[in-house]
Amino acid sequence: MSSSRIPVLAVVAAGGALGSLARWGLAVALPHSGPGWPWSTLIVNLTGSLLLGVLIVVVDRRPAHRLLYPFLGVGVLGGWTTFSTMMADVAGLVAAQAVARAGAYLLVSLVGGLLATGFGIVLTRRLLGPR
């Protein structure tokens, strides 16, 4: 491995640890089981999508340290959001015979994530003004 990659890997790992710990904290604060709606996973995925949209515009508009995006975008937001837990939640809902809720949750998660990212981009562009 090239020594120039070590700082990038270090900030991704540090950011991922922070994001994952924050997600775990929210999951503890908003637990769910069986047929219950997985609020904590939905909240982290939607807020992570929104913040990724914001970050995309900020990094594009403002010169930043080369490690900022790997730390925040890949690390923190990558650790904060969780596609695998979303799919485990869907499987849990199906196993609890809440198939309609599983489908609704999947749809809200995927469409909501796309809309949240778009909203973050549009909002940040408006707040920062023209280039």
**DSSP characters over the chain:** --GGGHHHHHHHHHHHHHHHHHHHHHHHHS---TTS--HHHHHHHHHHHHHHHHHHHHHHHS---TTHHIIIIIIIHHHH--HHHHHHHHHHHHHTT-HHHHHHHHHHHHHHHHHHHHHHHHHHHHHH---
- Ligand-binding annotation for 120, yes or no, is no
Distance CA 107, CA 101 (A): 10
- Ligand-binding annotation for 78, yes or no, is yes
Q: Are 26 and 81 in contact (CB under 8 A)?
A: no
Annotated binding-site residues read: 78, 81
Summarize the annotated binding site for Na(+) as residue ranges: 78, 81
